[in-house]
Amino acid sequence: MQLVIVESPTKAKTIQKFLGSKYKIKSSFGHVRDLPKNKLGVDVDKNFEATYIVPTKAKKVVAELKKDAKGADEVILATDEDREGESISWHLAQALKLENPKRIVFHEITKTAIEEALANPRTIDMALVNAQQARRVLDRIVGYKLSPFLWKKISKGLSAGRVQSVAVKLVVEKEEEIKKFIAVEYWDVEAVFKKPGAEFSAFLNKKNGEVVDKLEIKNQQEADEILKNLENATYIIEKITKKETHKNPLPPFTTSTLQQAGSNKFGYSAKMTMSLAQKLYEEGHITYHRTDSLNLSQMSLVMAKDFITKNFGEKYSNGSKVYKAGKGAQEAHEAIRPTHAEHTPESLKGELDGPKLKIYTLIWQRFMASQMVPAIFDSTAIEISAGNYGFGANGQMLKFDGFLKVYPMKFSENEMPALTEKEALDLARINPAQHFTEPPARYNEASLIKALEKHGIGRPSTYAPTLSTIQDRNYIIKNEQKRFEPTEMGTIVTDMLVKNFPQIVDIEFTAKMEKELDEIAEGKDTWQKTIKDFYGPFSKNLKEKYDEIPKEDLTVKTDKKCAKCGKDMVDKMGRFGRFYACSGFPECKHTESIVKTTSAGPVITLDINCTKCKTGKMSAKRSKRGKIFYGCDQYPTCDMATWDKPVNEFCPTCKSILVETKKGLVKCSSKTCDFKKDAEPSSEAN
């Protein structure tokens, strides 16, 4: 009997179907060894030697795997193909005391891929293991060394992270940009022309033969002057340019672009999108979902071409189109794609539930579209003269749908009426319009992941946990528009790190560290040297800052009296935001919540009446464990509380308030009503 060990029970179940009774497939349920929780676990004086333990929750699994391994003729490690998976295999070999175990990898869980992997086993790749070990040790050092500093200088319970702190800094810097932004007024001028049965618009874009920047029409006075000059103008079509334009399909998904699309189309968090993709991969529906590669196997290219030709016709096939990812992508991996082209979303409706089917549909459509021809549009550009001024109009009509047949995207169609050059136009009206420049948009999940990827911060496996961690730590929160805002604590911690540990939150330095980890994975460097180069300056600076930096005084006096002892209450800053505390602490430990109406505060008051008492307002609050829940702002008079977020809409069936679940569903708050629907999507992907 041959024992095959994978990470998850779902993956084990899928592989077992392909291999039959000669193989026993067991799951390790993730990592079986890790650094200890209650201490550093890294000996900085002995070449950063790491001490790994088997966590309590993994001891039973390890004992069972040891027993299975003893009774097996051969042990095969089949964990995921990335650094994390390689590391799990190494830890399994160490924990089970395996000698020269076989290691197999595959991009997809299909019978063909598994059999090919079994026919071509290899040994554990220690370069990949060391790269992952370097990341783990580096992050442990930063977290365990820097967090106590934050406890002493700001507040207990705080923590710092190498990648997470940079992500928070991006959000804080964006907020600073917004605060400093000054809106600038500008105007544009629209001319509406009429033809029999039709009207079309053109916009002012020339003055004295020069193209006008919109910001050059600075105020109403300038706009009125232009209108006055145009009072008796004759509008003549000077030039009509017609041409075909092509819109190319997007490449297949990588981890980051899938997370962005899941956020934009369905409002899914990166964590939720990755959880759904993980299930799809383990069930054999898609290829490995943690990748930054755009590479596609030759088999998949042939598969796509055959499907497109058979179902849509040869005119839709683009042959076998190859895409190249940016520098640093792991081209040995593949992009995310369906394992079988013929498994259309429609054919899997009975097998996949709603959210899982949505993500699969995205992946299937994006992959198929990437192998199809561009969409073709008939475009028309019109230049119109009016004395010393010029107007421009553009029209576009879809001529051939191409890849849009399977991957719908928003585009505008604007058919122009029949026009000829030198034709005089009949002006219907002219519309001056005032505008103001907009401040930069706050990050949402999609744009923050895009920014991290652009700067080279993190890797495919780190985006989702990074975003989850900095929200769990209450350094950033999502506002009502699902955009990220820094909390007061997030800003305070970031300012402290920027002033005293600039390298930790420096984008270029963090990106450089990622490149060094890549070099370790390629066998070009040792992980101990990388850690040593970082730790020396970091440790010296940390020691100096302990002596130099005074503790932040974040306490504010108030006129409020303690309800228990009568002493003054003070406004204090805690890990999860501000709260009232008795100044008589520790003799009196009475505390009270502070209700704030700002989305950056610890409590967000919603414009929704309490569903229980009908008089209070529903508020978002944080529990003692930092989890967000929703309750009445009249507490303790009213004890209404729910984990699901109320929305300002009522059930069409029973008239109870509707709530939005963490899985993106809107359902009735009444336990006796089963009404539900999908949450509204926020926007189109990409």
Going across the sheet that includes 617-622, the strands are: 604-609, 617-622, 628-632, 641-642
Question: What's the count of helices (H) and strands (E) in the chain, helices before strands?
Answer: 16, 27
Element (H, E) at 179: helix 162-180
User: Are 38 and 28 a contacting pair, CB within 8 Å?
Assistant: no
Among residues 235, 281, 288, 475, the one annotated as catalytic is: 288
Taking a C-beta distance cutoff of 8 angstroms, is the pair 100, 126 a contact? no
Coil/strand/helix, residue 535: helix
Answer whether 572's CB lies under 8 Å from 554's CB.
Answer: yes
Determine whether 186 is an active site residue. no
Name the DSSP class of 550.
P
641 touches 630 (CB < 8 A): yes
Question: Could you give the C-alpha distances from 197 to 200, 384, 417, 533, in angstroms and in order?
Answer: 11, 20, 9, 74
Neighbouring C-beta atoms of residue 65, cutoff 10 Å: 22
The residues that bridge with 318 in the sheet, in sequence order, are none
The closest of 137, 183, 163 to 42, measured between CA atoms, is 137
Cα–Cα distance for residue pair 348/342, rounded to 1 Å: 10
CB 139 within 8 A of CB 166: no
Q: Report the alpha-carbon distance of residue 437 to residue 571 in Å, rounded.
A: 38
- Integer-rounded Cα Rg, in Å, for the chain is 30
For residues 123 and 542, is the Cβ–Cβ distance under 8 A?
no
Positive or negative torsion for Cα 146, 148, 149, 151: positive
Beta strands 568-574 and 556-561, pairing class: antiparallel
Phi, psi angles (nearest 5°) of residue 485 = -125, 145
CA distance linking residue 360 with residue 276, whole number of Å: 9
Please list the active-site residues.
288
